[in-house]
Structure 1
Amino acid sequence: MIPNWLVQRAYLTPNRLALSFGDEQWTFEQLADQASIIARKLKWNGLNEGDRIALLGRSTPEMVCVIHGCLLAGLEIVMLNSRLSSKEISWQLTDCDASTLLVDDELIDRIKEINTSKLTFSDIESSGTQHVAFTEMWEPSRTITIMYTSGTTGFPKGVRQTAGNHTSSALSSVLNLGLTEDDMWLCTMPLFHISGFSILARSVIYGMGVRLYEKFDAEAIVEEIQRGTVTRISVVATGLHRILEEFEKSGSVAHPSFKTMLAGGGPVPDDYLRRARTHQLPVLQTYGMTETSSQTATLSSEDALRKSGSAGKPLFFNRIKIRDAEQPGDFGEVLVMGPHVTPGYIGHAADRNPLEDGWLPTGDIGYIDEEGYLFIVDRRSDLIISGGENIYPAEIENVLISHPQVAEAGVCGQSHPEWGSVPIAFIVGDKQLTESDLEQYCKGQLAGYKTPKAFHFVDHLPRNASNKLLRRELKEWAEKNKK
């Protein structure tokens, strides 16, 4: 059994700082009080323990309180990506079959055409209350969050994450990173992402404060790190690059109390690691996915350059192996096992077992060296990682092919100095079709970061004898046609 996170934390350390945002601060007791009120208001609106709701919001204190209110009320939370288009959100709502959509008033325009029953944050605020008996102990198998992740077929899968998954992930992380009473995690990652939510989970499990930012602000972040007001932060490579640029402008270094810059979302270039060391920024590269409730492996900062390109070793409770590998260095699919791994999916993928004999096939190709360090060779052959966001080409191709003037479409990633990679499309279609036509068409159905940054019109796409699209050749085309 697992203690109800916030209930237990507010009991243990009620006066410890839990959350700060701008000039505002909340202790764990104050956070629990706010969440309790929201839980009782949700009950008044007919939401009961075990119900599945969807949540669409920004990274604000109000969002944090709503998340904790839902957890106290015993609801399953489908975390919706606020960067998605209305069409994408609608698809996920239909697939997850949530009874109610809780939505930030600032995002209401995004879901006007959606039929799911809605409760805005202001609706919740003005609601009456009804008594709720909070469950003090959670079953480890209890699903508490659901996050959608892209699939190779272009259809996102709703990943179940249990109380046990999140708790074991947090425990593995703290055994690797350590913990002190003055720890403060600067959160600029979206709360709907596993990277953002996992910071909230660690906060209540560890008794650690969170310094919340609604948006990434490199200048403000660097000021916090220099002053010693935060001790840890999670970033993707593009965010690290912006932080380094700010440090280089001033020629300053991190405060001695700053301990960890956890870098995920793809490999960190060696140049970034060397520059980070100059400014006394300990960068720990990490590997994980939505199905593993954040980290599976992490590379220590002292090994960053010695093991350049490595994702490190598995965290304490986790295991990693390479399919069919007979010796160190053999390439193969990366398989993961541990209490942090999802028990399954919902919606259209509910019947799909994510495990093979207890192991999660990640779809990533990698190898483990003679010292046990994991190296990812290709984060899924088709996957595009753009600014830390995962993009599957098939999803974009499905949209493009639905255009009446498009006969064939192939999408791949093209290297980009800021975002790491961006999607590029190759089109076989009507001669009168323009890039502007396709860009507008995609923007109506896809998130901005998924919309191709260039469209190349070709006579044919590279395919093998069985008519399978050869993405390796598409990538070569993309680099040759780079604008």
Structure 2
Amino acid sequence: MIPNWIIQRSTLTPERIALRFEGKSWTYNEINDLALQQARKLTALGVKPHDRVAIYATSTPQIIFMICGCMHLQCEMVLLNLRLSNTELAYQIEDSEVVSIFSEDELVENLPKTAVSIHTFSEIEQTTLAEFTPAIEWSEEDTMTIMYTSGTTGYPKGVRQTIGNHVSNATSSLYNTGLVEDDAWLCTVPLFHISGFSMLCKCLLHGIRLDLYRKFDVDKVVNQLVEGSVTRMSVVAVTLERILSELENRNQQVSKRFLTMLAGGGPVPVDYLKRAIERGIQVSQTYGMTETSSQTATLSSEDALRKIGSAGKPLFFNQIKIADAKKPFEQGEILIKGAHVTPGYVGRFVEKPSQANGWLHSGDIGYLDDEGYLFVVDRRSDLIISGGENIYPAEIENVLTSHPSVREAGVCGVEDDQWGQVPNAFVVLKNEVDAEELLVFCKEHLASYKVPKKVYFVKELPRNGSSKLLRRKLQELI
């Protein structure tokens, strides 16, 4: 058992600022009070402890109050990605078997038709309080969050993250970074992503401040970095480049109070690392996944240039090895062990084991060098990483081949200056159709960032002897 995070934090540091957003701030005591109000209102609406619910909202204080209210109720929270299409949302809602959906008012019209009860934030706000007493202790084995990540089949998997998973990740991160006076995270990544949610968990557990942004605003972010009002931030390569360009345009350095910029979502270009050093930014490259509740390995800033391209070493309590590797530099599947690893999935993949002999098989190919530094060679084989978002080709191919004029489809990532990679599609037709019609079709079934930027019509797709599609050879057709 583990103490209720919110109650214990509000007891330890009640008057410490927990959250800042657009000029307003809340203490940990105020967060707890608002969370208890939410829990009592949800109870009045019929939500019971341990219910599985979905949350669909932008990154504002309201989603944090809702998340903390659900924590008090010990609900399993399915955090719905705002960028998903109607079809994708419908799949996740059905697959996860949630009993209620809590939605920001302005977003309700984006939700699919469903038999599940939908409660808007304003409806919840107006609900009268019911009796509710929060548990003082939580079980570490209980599921706290469920986040969907695509699989190689193209069907998204609902990944369970337990209370113990989140505690382990936050603890390992703390051992890596330490704590300083007036520590504060700047959060521009969505709270429905594991990177955003893990940031919230770190703040609650470590008792530090979260400066929350509704969306990335380069001017305001750079202002904070230069004035030194925050100490840490998480980015992907595309947002790091925008920060660097703005600093260069201003000819400014970040404050010496700013300590760490964690860079995930794929390798960071060497040029970005060099430019960051010139602007006083200590970049720490990371490797992790939804199944590991965020970080599992991190490259220290002092090694950023000495070990260019590396994701660093596993954080404390975490273990990484390369399957079947007998010596350094031998490539193989990256295997991960630790208390931060998911115990399993929900829905369609509920019977799929998440570990084999205690090790998570990541599906990523990599190697450890002679000093034990991890290098990721291929992110889940054919995975496309676009602006920090993971895109699986099979998911796009499934949509394209469902079009009546398409016989076969293959998708691969193509380098892009702004996003790192973007998906391109290669299609073998059954009947005549133009590319624009296929793109419109994709937009109806996929999140915007998954829609191919270009469609090429080809006579045949590259395949091996067993007729398996060779996605790595698709670019040769351009």
Q: Normalization by structure 2: what TM-score?
A: 0.99
* Unpaired runs of at least 5, structure 1: none
Partner of 1:345: 345
What are the residue-to-residue correspondences of 1:71-470 with 2, within 5 Å?
71-430=71-430, 432-470=432-470
**Pairwise CA distance, 1:115:** 2.8
CA distance in 2, matches of 1:218, 1:102: 30
User: Which amino acid is 1:153 matched to?
Assistant: T
The one-character-per-residue Cα deviations of 1:190-234 (angstroms, maximum 9, x if unpaired) are 000000000110011000100000101111100010011111100
Shift of 1:4: 1.0
Amino acid in structure 1 at the alignment position of 2:95: D
The answer to whether the 8 Å contact 2:311/2:373 transfers is: yes
8 Å CA contact 2:59–2:191 kept in 1: the answer is: yes
2:47 is aligned to 47
Matches of 1:452 and 1:430, distance apart in 2: 20
Listed one character per residue, the Cα deviations across residues 58-86 of structure 1 (whole Å, up to 9, x for unaligned) are 00111111111111111110111011011
2 CA distance for matches of 1:112 and 1:393? 24
SS in 2 for 1:312: strand
For the Cα contact (< 8 Å) 2:87–2:112, is it kept in 1? no
Q: CA RMSD in A?
A: 0.8
What is the distance in 1 between the residues matched to 2:443 and 2:115? Answer: 22
Distance 2:122 2:435 in 1: 41
Q: Give the Cα separation in 1 of the matches to 2:108 and 2:57.
A: 10
SS at match of 1:167: helix
The separation in 2 between residues aligned to 1:108 and 1:224, in whole angstroms, is: 33
Shift of 1:432: 2.9
- Deviations along 1:219-251, one digit per CA (max 9) or x if unpaired, are 110001001111110000111000000000011
- 1:287 alignment partner, SS class: strand
- Determine if contact 1:77/1:145 at 8 Å carries over to the other structure: yes
Distance 2:359 2:373 in 1: 19
Q: Is the 8 A contact 2:337 2:358 kept in 1?
A: yes
**Deviation at residue 275 of structure 1 after TM alignment:** 0.2
Residue in structure 1 matched with residue 7 of structure 2 by the alignment: 7
2:187 and 2:212 in contact (8 A); partners too: yes
Q: Deviations over 1:108-158 (max 9, x none)?
A: 111152332101111100111111111111111010100000100000000
The number of aligned residues is 478
Cα deviation, residue 368, structure 1: 0.2
Are 1:61 and 2:56 an aligned pair? no
Task: Encode CA deviations 1:40-74: one digit per residue, 9 max, x unaligned.
Answer: 00000011111100111100111111111111111
How many Å separate the matches in 1 of 2:70 and 2:128? Answer: 16
Q: CA deviation at 1:430?
A: 4.4
Structure 1 contact 254–279 (Cα < 8 Å) conserved: yes
SS at match of 1:173: helix
Render the CA deviation track for 1:373-432: whole Å, top value 9, x for unaligned: 000000111100000000000000000000001111101100101100000000111453
Distance in 1 separating the partners of 2:297 and 2:122: 40
Deviations along 1:254-288, whole A, 9 cap, x unmatched? 11100010000000111000000000001000000
Provide the rounded CA distance (Å) in 2 between the counterparts of 1:472 and 1:386.
17
Distance in structure 2 (CA, Å) of the matches to 1:471 and 1:149: 20
Q: Which ranges of structure 2 fall in alignment gaps of 5 or more residues?
A: none
Distance 1:90 1:347 in 2: 13
By how many angstroms is 1:181 displaced? Answer: 3.1
Using the alignment, how far apart are the partners of 2:67 and 2:30 within structure 1? Answer: 15
Q: Secondary structure at the match of 2:445?
A: coil
Q: Is the 8 A contact 1:18 1:207 kept in 2?
A: yes
Q: In 2, are the aligned partners of 1:181 and 1:208 still within 8 Å (CA)?
A: no
Q: Which residue of 1 aligns with 2:31?
A: 31
Write the deviation string for residues 327-365 of structure 1: whole angstroms up to 9, x where unpaired. Answer: 011000000000000000000100010101000000000
Q: Could you tell me which amino acid in structure 1 is paired with residue 167 of structure 2?
A: T
Equivalent pair of 2:90/2:112 in contact (CA under 8 Å)? no
Q: What is the letter of the counterpart of residue 160 of structure 1? A: R
Question: Aligned letter for 1:38?
Answer: Q
Divergent runs of 4+, >4 A: none
CA contact (8 A) 1:155 1:395 kept: yes
Q: Which amino acid aligns with 2:394?
A: A
Contact preservation (8 Å) 1:166, 1:201: yes
Secondary structure in 2 aligned to 1:366? strand
Find the aligned partners of 1:384 and 1:475 in 2 and give their Cα distance.
Answer: 13
Residues 310 and 376 of structure 1 are in contact (CA less than 8 Å); yes or no, is this contact kept in structure 2?
yes
Distance, in Å, in 2 between the alignment partners of 1:335 and 1:433 is 44
